[in-house]
Amino acid sequence: MIEKEIVKKIKAGDEQGLRLLYQHYSSALYGIAFRFLNDEMYAEEVLQNTYLKVWNKIDQYDPEKAAFYTWMVNILKNSAIDISRTLKFQNEKKTVSFDNDVHSDKKENILSLGMEAKQMLKDIDEKYVQVLDYLYLRGYSQSEMSEELDIPIGTIKTRVKKAIDLLRSKLDKETALLYGIGAVIVLWWLIKSLGF
């Protein structure tokens, strides 16, 4: 499996591991960083910080505790939070009045949407939730998923389409347009990882 190969190469100090990491995970990780920060430049900075930390901290990775992708997302999330705090501090210095209620409402809306996503996915058959998990959260391609789960690629494609259709049918139109399916799935993962 590609994760094991990447970890092995990075642990050996082989830069090919970083190239593989970029090829297989950059779009998924960038998407998460962009959703956190809503800024291309800062999302790219978070992505680069994440690669650097993965390279420097690979010996801290324990496959018994988390999947490699999950471990990387946690590193990315912490980098995004650090940048977000820095930006917030800079903005507070520049701005005399700061409206905390707006931020509180946003946090409540995000938490509410994440809980809604969690409930929606509870109502969907496990085989469909599984493909969403592998595709969006673990960063697998459909062919990698087929190999990992030992399920024909045609079945994987059908399940992915069905899973997205089921989720879309459960989202109200406003939420679907505002956030998109991918963002809802990421919020579900965050809620899940935070233990809500």
* pLDDT single digits (tens) 103-119: 444 445 555 555 566 66
**61-75, 135-149, 159-173: least confidently modelled range:** 159-173
* pLDDT single digits (tens) 118-137: 666 677 888 988 887 777 66
DSSP letters spanning the chain:
-HHHHHHHHHHTT-THHHHHHHHHHHHHHHHHHHHHH--HHHHHHHHHHHHHHHHHHGGG--TTTS-HHHHHHHHHHHHHHHHHHHHHHHHHHH-S---HHHHHHHHHHHHHHHHHHHHHHHTS-HHHHHHHIIIIIS---HHHHHHHHT--HHHHHHHHHHHHHHHHHHS-HHHHHHHHHHHHHHHHHHHHHHT-
* pLDDT single digits (tens) 59-116: 999 888 888 888 998 899 888 888 777 766 455 444 444 444 434 444 455 555 555 6
Residue 182 pLDDT = 55
Domains in the chain, CATH or no CATH each:
1-98 (1.10.1740.10), 101-196 (1.10.10.10)
Which has more pLDDT, 70 or 192? 70
pTM: 0.47
Residue 185 pLDDT = 58
